[in-house]
Structure 1
């Protein structure tokens, strides 16, 4: 179990995005939201907007790493920061937590759209 947590932590750290000039780690590109690393962001239909909660935890978060909010990050406009079950901070857009998809390999990939009928491209 500790090994799984260790690797989950590495995956989350790999998808943490630095803050852009606008103070946020998110930008719009080709009609979708991306992390500052250019990787596509997604929302999960099972997350209820406005609850401040992510229901994608454990193995789900290994496949769908959250967009981590670094310590000291400050939300603004439609962007908020939620606290995950493990205590980590995650960015949300219009109340919906934001995630990457581990099967997207390059900036611009959008292979997570529609996975299991519950994963959607995050759109501005």
Structure 2
């Protein structure tokens, strides 16, 4: 049994957490340090992280464990980052992601697979 001073969970509004500044879509935000980008943005009141490619419907984090890809954002110029899997850092520049996510560059179809990775 655990003591009452040690618990596995604590509320987001824990006053022991320091606040750091990040930028979301160019606007400065004070967010709690030590959390994922997704959790920090949610704590700051952000409810729209990206838009779907077909209808433009708003999306926000769903699973918070990297399985659903609903929390994709651009972080410091790198698109398609799962914000629930990246720890927030002071000065980060986060942008909402609009439309389809970027995929890694494709391998040249004319290069045999054994040569595609420099082997």
TM-score interval, smaller chain: under 0.3
Which has the higher Rg, Structure 1 or Structure 2? Answer: 2
**Higher helix proportion, which one?**
1
The higher relative CO (CA closer than 8 Å, separation ≥ 6) is in: 1
Q: Which has the larger strand fraction?
A: 2
TM-score, length-scaled by structure 1 = 0.26
| TM-score for the superposition, normalised by structure 2 | 0.26
